[in-house]
Amino acid sequence: MTAKKSSVKSTNATSKKSGGFTAEERAAMKERAKEARGKGDGEEEVLAKIAEMKDPGDRAMAKKLHAIMKENAPDLLPKTWYGMPAYAKDGKVVCFFTPAAKFKSRYATLGFNDDANLDEGAMWPTSYALTKLTATEEAKIVKLVKKAAS
């Protein structure tokens, strides 16, 4: 007696590659490649990226963070990084702003790379979730930015 063999149809869930990049991640990588080739004005590029932000909350936070950076960390130069506003010292990104809408996240993020001078013991935060900027958050950010840029 022979057993009947059935064919197994592929479903969308099983045919997708696991661990692949989202459309938003691929777009960010393309922007980074474009940034690496360009030699544009960092200030203009950052302001243009902020102006492009569709979410008014993201745009307002990015504008305020840009003002905080310029006032409290003048040694950090504005530039774009993966299509996001960022601030660099000696060509290396120290901190960056990720708008919530960029990766369809619940909150925006203020992040710091390893060139930020934030070391504190054996463990410290390198990114902060932002839902809005009040005077309290702004004061904390000013301290972080000054320390990161030092």
For 91-135, the pLDDT digits (tens) are 999 999 999 999 999 999 999 999 999 999 999 999 999 999 999
Q: Within a domain: residue 139?
A: yes
Q: Within a domain: residue 100?
A: yes
pLDDT band at 38 (very low <50, low <70, confident <90, very high): low
Q: Within a domain: residue 65?
A: yes
Residue 140, amino acid: K
Q: Within a domain: residue 15?
A: no
Helix (H, G, I), strand (E, B) or coil at 125: coil
pLDDT band at 8 (very low <50, low <70, confident <90, very high): very low
55-80 pLDDT, tens digit per residue, is 999 999 999 999 999 999 999 999 99
Domain count, the chain: 1
Task: Note the residue count of the chain.
Answer: 150
**Token duo for residue 46:** 């950052």
Helix (H, G, I), strand (E, B) or coil at 3: coil
Q: Within a domain: residue 14?
A: no
Q: Any idea what the CATH number is for the domain that residue 45 is in?
A: 3.90.1150.200
Q: Within a domain: residue 16?
A: no
Q: Within a domain: residue 95?
A: yes
Closest to 87 (Cα-Cα) out of 117, 116, 129 = 116
Parent domain of 114: 22-149
Helix (H, G, I), strand (E, B) or coil at 99: coil
Q: Within a domain: residue 141?
A: yes
pLDDT score of 18 more than 80 = no
